[in-house]
Each structure stands twice: as structure tokens, then as C-alpha cells.
Amino acid sequence: MINQALKNKVALVAGATRGAGRGIATELGAAGAIVYATGRTTHAQRSEYNRPETIEETTELVNQAGGHGIPVQVDHLDPTQVQALVARIDSEQGRLDILVNDIGGEYLAEFHQPVWQLSLEKGLRLFRLAIDTHIVTSHFALPLLIKNSGGLVVEITDGTAEYNNNNYRLSLFYDLAKTSVIRMAWALAQELQPHQCTAVALTPGWLRSEIMLDHFGVSEANWQDATAQEPHFVISETPHYIGRAVACLAGDPNVARWNGQSLSSGQLAKVYSFTDLDGSQPDAWRYICEVEAAGLPADATGYR
């Protein structure tokens, strides 16, 4: 990826505190973008996740990578806060080129139980975080984005349309939430096309987020030790991988070719010739179908 390819471009990454959002913000910064990194956890206050990562730390990473990071504490379920955020971006920059809707609420997901045994409170909260935040943010941000042609909206989800259409995601709430985001990207694509702007859905593979690494009791430095607990973790990828996918999409003058489509980090790595931090190109969704779902022993040979 060419450094500074996104110089003077303005991005809003909604949900940039950790995980995919942090990786996306950092890689947009590496390409030279101005990145508004939003979330609820700051040095002074934690969200319901009760995690240590903060939006200030994310913007430090953006700055170190070569971009300009601006942290803004925002609850994207609050229309007043989102409206104020977009007004600030308009006032300070006069434009918005890239919108990434990354908020997901995955920590609330419960799996392997029928809906009548799941927590209704957690399930409906998951819907609000995974779906409502995206709609609220798009409602206020898109009038600014469409002021210029070439704008890009990236809806982050879990799973490709093909995979999710053919596989139950092991929870009614989670299944509906992640499938809805894919459809949302398709719907936005129809509305943005007359303005020469593009919307896509994008999924990482098995993400080595801070939460996932903690779950296995490992760090990024020794992540492969987790394969002793879960052998298929061998196909996992860093948040930088999907970040590079977003940066490549944002820098593609022909990005409209993807309008309305469901994409994956592994798929785009082959198209745009980027790699993960270790130089590999993990293709998680092909692996999941051809190896894991097929009941074969964990072996990422030919898949990364």
C-alpha cells in the first residue's frame, strides 16, 4: 500500500476503541488520513465493556502510523451526540470521505442455545449496538459524505453473505444482527449510487482482537500458543489486516465496482496484494468452509 495515499482524506471510524475499529483507524492513518476515532471508553471513563483500551490510545496509534487522529467520545445510540459529532467534522474539515460503522456488541452474544433460553435483555441490547448505531450514524453522517463524489461507507460485520446465508451463526440474535448489517450495506449502496458514492459490507476472518487474545490467555507475540486450546485459531488474523482492506478500498479510484457487495479481508488481500503484519494472507472464510466445517485437522497450509 502506498504511504499517504489518503492524505487530506477525512475518515470517521465509529467504534475505534479496540479490535477491528482500532486496526482500521490505524491503517487509515498509515495511509495519511485524518481519522476521527469514536467510542465510549476514554482515559477518564469506561463503557459497559469495562475494558482498558481507550480512543485516545487508538489516536496515538493513528498518529504514530503517519495520520492525524482525533478522539471523540460518542455514544452512537444517542442521536444528539452523533449529530454533534458530524457537525464538528463539518466545521473542522468541511468534508467526510470515509465512514466505517464498526460497532458490534459481540461481547453480549450467547451461543448454542435456542432463543427461549437466551437472555432477552442481552439479545435486544446486541441488536441496538450492532444495528441501531449504524443507522443513527449513517443518518447524520451521509449528508456530509455525499457532498463530494467518491465517498465510501464500510459496514463491518461477521461473515460473508454467502457464508451467513448457508450457515446458522449459533444464536438467533447474533445471526440476525450480522446478516442485517450485510443487507444494510446493500441498501445504502442503492441510495449512495446516484451521488457517486459506494457502500460495502466487510468482514474480517477470525480476529485476534484484544478480547480474543485475553480469552485464550495469550498476547500477539505468542498468539500461536492458543492453537493448543483451539487448533483452528491457526487461521486467525490481526486487526491490521481488515484495516489494510479498508485503506485499499478507500484509495481505489474504481471502488464503485464493489458497490453493495459483501467482502472479506482475505478476499481483498488477493485483489489489492496487501498482507497481514506477518506477511501472510489468511483466507479465513475459505478455510472455515473447506477445513473446519469439513472436519479436517487444523492446517492453514494454502490458506495464508
> 84 Cβ partners below 8 Å, 6+ apart?
none
pLDDT (tens digit per residue) in 102-113: 999 888 999 999
User: Please, which pLDDT band fits residue 99 given cuts at 50, 70 and 90?
Assistant: very high
At 162 the pLDDT is: 96
pLDDT (tens digit per residue) in 33-68: 999 999 999 999 998 888 999 999 999 999 999 999
CA distance linking residue 169 with residue 177, whole number of Å: 10
User: Please, which pLDDT band fits residue 6 given cuts at 50, 70 and 90?
Assistant: very high
At 1 the pLDDT is: 45
For residues 288-304, average pLDDT = 96
At 227 the pLDDT is: 97
Q: Cβ(188)–Cβ(155) under 8 Å?
A: yes
For residues 136-146, average pLDDT = 98
**Residue carrying C-alpha cell 499517504:** 4
Arithmetic mean of pLDDT over the chain: 96
Q: Which of 226, 235, 242 is nearest to 275 (CA)?
A: 242
pLDDT of 76 strictly over 80:
yes
Q: Chain-centre distance of CA 252, in angstroms?
A: 18
**Residue carrying C-alpha cell 448457508:** 166
Proportion of the chain above pLDDT 70, given as a percent: 99
Indicate the domain borders of the chain. Answer: 10-223+236-286
pLDDT of 176 strictly over 50:
yes
pLDDT of 238 strictly over 90:
yes
Q: Cβ(218)–Cβ(226) under 8 Å?
A: yes
pLDDT of 303 strictly over 80:
yes
Question: From the CB of residue 149, how many other CB atoms can be counted at a distance below 10 Å?
Answer: 10
CA distance linking residue 126 with residue 82, whole number of Å: 19
The full DSSP string for 49-71 is T--S--HHHHHHHHHHHTSEEEE
Count of residues making up the chain: 304
At 106 the pLDDT is: 87
For residues 114-136, average pLDDT = 97
**pTM for this predicted structure:** 0.97
Distances (CA, A) of 68 to 7, 27, 92, 293: 10, 11, 13, 42
At 48 the pLDDT is: 84
The grid cell for 294 is 469439513
CA distance linking residue 98 with residue 221, whole number of Å: 31
Question: From the CB of residue 225, how many other CB atoms can be counted at a distance below 10 Å?
Answer: 13
At 8 the pLDDT is: 94
Q: Cβ(286)–Cβ(303) under 8 Å?
A: yes
Identity (one letter) of the amino acid at 97? Answer: D
The DSSP symbol for 134 reads: H
Q: Cβ(209)–Cβ(19) under 8 Å?
A: yes
**Residue carrying C-alpha cell 485475553:** 214
For residues 146-156, average pLDDT = 98
For residues 76-101, average pLDDT = 98
For residues 97-121, average pLDDT = 95
Q: Which of 142, 132, 135 is nearest to 192 (CA)?
A: 142
Classify domain 10-223+236-286 at the CATH class level: alpha beta
pLDDT of 207 strictly over 50:
yes
> 156 Cβ partners below 8 Å, 6+ apart?
15, 20, 21, 24, 100, 101, 102, 104, 181, 201, 202, 203, 204, 242
